[in-house]
Amino acid sequence: MKTRILGKDLKVSAIGLGCMGMSHAYGPAADKKEMTRLLAQAVDLGYTFFDTAEVYGTPEHPHDNEELLGEALRPFRSRIVIASKCGIRFDETSKEVNKPLIPDGRPESIRQAIDGSLMRLQTDHLDLYYIHRIDRNVPIEETAGAMKELMEAGKITHWGICEADEEILRRAHKVCPVTAVQNRYSMMYRDYEALFPVLSELQIGFVAFSPLANGFLSARYDQTSHFEKGTDYRSVMPQFSREGMEKNKKLMEELSRMAREKEATPAQISLAWMLAKEPWIVPIPGTRKEDRLMENAGASELVLTKEEVCALDQMLDTTPMSEVFGGSRIAKQASGRN
């Protein structure tokens, strides 16, 4: 697989592997033996960039994903990049399927979180460590300062911010250079394209999560698809509703037409479109399936011309589409904080 550089010097595979769905948000956690085999296969396919977080798990096993990756990727640690995240917890008092997030960007919380993640991931350092959401009660300069301390201690080598805007990025970058921002980005969610000039100026990479609109753009779903209520976020996502699927028919027809022309799949067109935008964009689609793992990896070899990218952009600007899941809401009150 081809590689890309995030920030100034973090070399990663052009397509990363978002591992959240193996343990969280897409139904009950997957079988660990199966996921261990899948992760080893990902390394064989050329994936070197693996994304997790301390909160990717279940109420019974809240750190399931980091524990899975720690054991499964230990044999390959010297040749892969592991990214994890700190700074949020779920509001477990909520009855919502997609529980609200309670941010915590305090330096003391970050220092405590890194030690837990290192233990679970069975490593002495993380290659990339994100603050998972911005805590508006803590100046970002304090969060950035804590990350700088972790770098000086050798516990992390690079840091990043999820769901960051220009103001936050500039302020954080002055304290400790940011390597990557991880924001939602797909053909159905393009809001952060406005941030691209700033990222180019500051030499910050863009790691795109949900690059296939939570799998919708793979064209593998229809109105008969079933999503388990209570554990699968897709059961409440607008793009997967009956109304959403009906509204998105034209979009999927156009995407499928381009895929046929390029002898590719709709998912590969979606990822290749993103890769063609900027050399520092790295999508991290997730999967539990071997065929999807291979399909997504193949997107790194698919080259779209400038004309093809422009045509896709024009199609996206003019084609009706449903709303798309915009992420977990932030709890208004950070309950339990001192």
Kindly list the catalytic residues.
Answer: 56
Query: Which residues, 6+ apart, have CB-to-CB distance to 291 below 8 Å?
Result: none
CA distance 186 to 325: 11
Give the Cα separation of 4 and 55 in Å (integer): 27
Burial class of residue 334 (count of CB atoms within 10 Å of its CB; 0-12, 13-18, 19+): middle
Name the burial class of residue 93, with classes exposed (0-12), middle (13-18) and buried (19+) by CB atoms within 10 angstroms of its CB.
Answer: exposed
Q: What is the DSSP string of 229-258?
A: TTTBGGGG-GGGSHHHHHHTHHHHHHHHHH
Asked if residue 97 lies in contact with residue 229, where contact means CB atoms within 8 angstroms, the answer is yes
* Residue 155 to residue 10: CA distance in whole angstroms: 16
CA dist 170 → 80, 84, 165, 206, 227 (Å): 29, 22, 9, 15, 40
Helix ranges, 89-135 (H)? 107-120
Output the CA angle 220-225-228, nearest 5 degrees.
Answer: 120
* Beta carbons of 80 and 93 less than 8 angstroms apart: no
